[in-house]
Copies of this chain bind each other. A is one copy, B any other.
Amino acid sequence: MQHDPRFIIVMGVAGSGKTTIGRGLAARLGVPFHDGDDFHPPANIAKMAAGVPLQDEDRAGWLVTLAVFIRDGLARGQSGVIACSALKKKYRDILRVDARRVRFVYLQGDHDAIRARMRRREGHFMRPEMLRSQFDVLEEPARAIRVNAVAEPDAIIDRIMEKLMEKQYALGIMGLGVMGRSLALNFERHGYPVIGYDPNPHLPPDFPATVVDSPAALATALDSPRVILIMVPAGKPVDIAIDSLKDALEVGDIIIDGGNSWFLDTERRTKELAEMGIHFVGMGVSGGESGALWGPSLMPGGAQAAWETIAPMLRDIAAVTPDGEPAVTWVGPGGAGHYVKMVHNGIEYGDMELIAEIYDLLHRGAGMPNEELADLFADWNEGELRSFLIEISAKVLRYVDNETGRPLLDLIVDIAGQKGTGRWTSQIALEVGAPTPTINAAVVMRLLSADKDTRMLAAARLGGTTAYAGDRAQLAAAAESALYAGKVTAYAQGMDLLQTASAAYGWGLNLAAIVRIWRGGCIIRAQVLDSIAAAFERQPGLPNLLLDGTIATAIEQRQADWRAVVIAGVETGVPLPALAASLGYFDALRSERLPANLIQAQRDFFGAHTYHRIDRDGIFHTEWE
C-alpha cells in the first residue's frame, strides 16, 4: 500500500491545526508536505494581504492549480500531504482528481472548541467573526478520515495512520453494464471508491474502479456494514446476484437493487433478507446512461434502517433539482421505491407518446417539415412545456444524417421498443383499480407500432390520412396547449395510481417529495413539476391533481385548444389515442353522471347482478321482462 502514490489533503477551518497535523503526518509517511496557500496566484495573495476576503471566483483558479499539481504528481508516482481548508464540497470535488488516491482528513471540532484550542496552544489571535464565518461556509465532508481537532497531535496522527491502513472501498457494485459502470464513475467522482464485480465484464480500458472476479471477493473487500449495489437485469438475475452474496454477508449489511425490478419481487426480497438481518433497498434510478454518470434521480425504498448509512453517498451522486436539493428521497417501505420508479416510467411512456402524436399531427397531418418542427419544439422548451423530453425532441428533429444528408428521424424505423415498466404500470393500475387511460394508450401504441406487417396491409386496404385543411400556425399554437393539458392529465393519472397504491400497500408515500425529486436528473423532469409538487404540498390528500386550483385553471384555459387538436386528429385520420384518452379522462372525471347506470342495468338484466338506486338505500334487482 505504501508504494501506491497518493495525496492526503488535511482540511478544516482556520485554526483547526491543518499545518501542524499535515507536517507531522508527512514526516510519519516520509512524503513531502505542501501548504495549499502557497499555490495561490499573486492576485489572491495581494487580496489576502490587504484583508479582502476571497470569493469563489478567486478560489477557482487556485483550486485547479492545486488539482493539476496533484494529478501530475500522481502521474509521476509521487505522494504528498497538503494542508488546505477545502470547506465546501465543490472545492473538494475539484481536488479529488482520483477517488482512491486522493483522500481527505477532516480536523473536526465545534466553534468553541477550536476557539479554545487556538488560545491554549498558540496564543494565536483571530477575530471572532472570522472564525464564525468559516463555520458558516463549512460543509462537512461525507467521506473523509474524521479526527478530533482538539486531541493531542501525536494521537491525531496515530489515528489517521490507523485509518489509512483500513480498507477503503465505499461500496461494491455487482453488474458493470452501461448503468453499473456509469454509477461507478459517478461514485468515484464524488470520492466513493468502488469495487466492482461482473460475471462477464466488458470494461473500457480507463475504467477506474477495482474489479474482482467473484462476489465473495467483492464482499471480503468491503467493511461492515457493507453497501452493495446490484445493477443487473430485473428478474432472476437479481435473485442469482443476491444468492451469490448471501454466504459472505453479515447482519447489518446493505444490498441495494438499482434495476427496474417488479415491485412485488422487491417486497419479497426485502422480507427474505430482513430475516437474515440484511437490509434490502429497492431503488429506482432514472436518467438513463447520462443521468447515472452525471446525476440520476434516485428513488430508494425498502429497509429504512439502511437509509442513514446510504443517504450521504446517494445525495452526493444524485442530480440536483432546480432549487439546489439532491434528487433523492426515502420513498417508503417494501417495494415502494421500485413502484414509484415504475409509475415514473408509466408517465414517461405517456409523455413520449403525447409528444409523438403531436409531431405526427403536425408533420403527417399538417405537412410541417422537421426543421420547422425543431424550431417549434425549441420554442416550446422556453415556455410552459420546458422539459427534458421536449428539449431532446427538438434536437432529434434537427439532427441530419451524415451519410445521406437527410433528417435522421425520417430514416428511423417506426417501431418503438419497450422493456416492460410501462406495461407493468398499466397492468398494476388495472389491478388496484386506478384509471390510467393515457398510459394505457401509450403502451398500446408501442404494441401497434411493432406490428408493422399488418399496418402495411391495412394501409394498402383501408386508405390513409387527409391533409389538414385549417391554418397550420393556429394548429401549432393549439398543439402547445393540448400537449400541456394532455401531459398534466397523464400526471394526474400517475399521481392517482401512486395514491391508490400507497393506500393499498400502506406505504404512506409523500407525493410532493416524490415529484420534487423527479425535477432533477430523470427523464420526465419538466417545469410543470413545480406546479404539481406545489399542489400536493398545499393539499397532501388532494383526491385528484386536476382538482388543484392552479392546475384546474391552467387546464380550463387550454380546454378549447385541446378539443380543437383532438378534432384535427379525428378529421385528418392521424391517430392521437393518448391525447384523446386524456381528454376522455378529463371529461369522464368531471361527469357527475356517467352512463354506467345503463351498464349496471344491463348487468342486472342478464346476470342478476343487482343495482343501487339514487332515491333510496338498498340493493335492487328487477325482472326486466
Q: Report A's interface with B, CB cutoff 8 A.
A: 178, 287-291, 352-353, 355-357, 359-360, 363-364, 388-389, 392-393, 395-397, 399, 404, 408-417, 423, 426-427, 430-431, 433-437, 440-441, 443-451, 453-459, 461-465, 523, 543-544, 546-547, 552, 555-556, 563, 566-567, 569-571, 573-577, 580-581, 583-603, 605-609, 611-615, 622, 624-625
Contacts and interface: CB of A to CB of B under 8 A. Distances in A.
A546 B462 contact: yes
B414 A595 contact: yes
Q: Is the interface of A mostly helix, strand, loop or mixed?
A: helix
Q: Which of A356, A461, A576, A594 has the most CB of B within 10 A?
A: A594
Contacts of A586: 462
A573 B587 contact: yes
A433 B449 CA distance: 11
Given A596-B414, A602-B393, A602-B396, A458 B178 contact: no
B570 A563 contact: yes
Contacts of A555: 462
Contact of A458 (B454, B589, B605, B625): B589
B588 A454 contact: no
B448 A585 contact: yes
A459 B589 CA distance: 7
B437 A588 contact: no
A363 B595 CA distance: 9
Copies in the complex: 2
Given A413-B614, A593-B414, A607-B288, A392 B602 contact: yes
A586 B444 CA distance: 13
A566 to B, nearest CB: 5
A614 to B, nearest CB: 6
Nearest to A592: B459
A412 B601 contact: yes
Contacts of A353: 599
Contacts of A417: 600, 603, 609
Nearest to A601: B396
A415 B604 CA distance: 13
Contact of A584 (B289, B363, B580, B605): B580
19 contacts: A289-B608, A355-B598, A356-B599, A360-B595, A364-B593, A392-B602, A416-B603, A417-B609, A434-B447, A435-B451, A445-B588, A445-B594, A448-B594, A457-B544, A463-B556, A575-B583, A575-B584, A575-B591, A580-B580
A437 B433 contact: no
Nearest to A363: B595
A131 to B, nearest CB: 46
Contact of A464 (B436, B592, B609): B592
Q: Which of A289, A465, A544, A588 has the most CB of B within 10 A?
A: A588
A413 B600 contact: yes
Contact of A412 (B360, B404, B588, B612): B612
A458 B544 contact: yes
A284 to B, nearest CB: 14
Given A602-B396, A622-B399, A552 B589 contact: no
A419 to B, nearest CB: 8
A495 to B, nearest CB: 12
B455 A592 contact: yes
A571 to B, nearest CB: 7
A547 B461 contact: yes
A440 B605 CA distance: 23
Contacts of A599: 352-353, 356, 416, 446, 449
Q: Which of A397, A571, A580 has the most CB of B within 10 A?
A: A580
B449 A596 contact: yes
B414 A605 contact: no
Contacts of A615: 404, 411
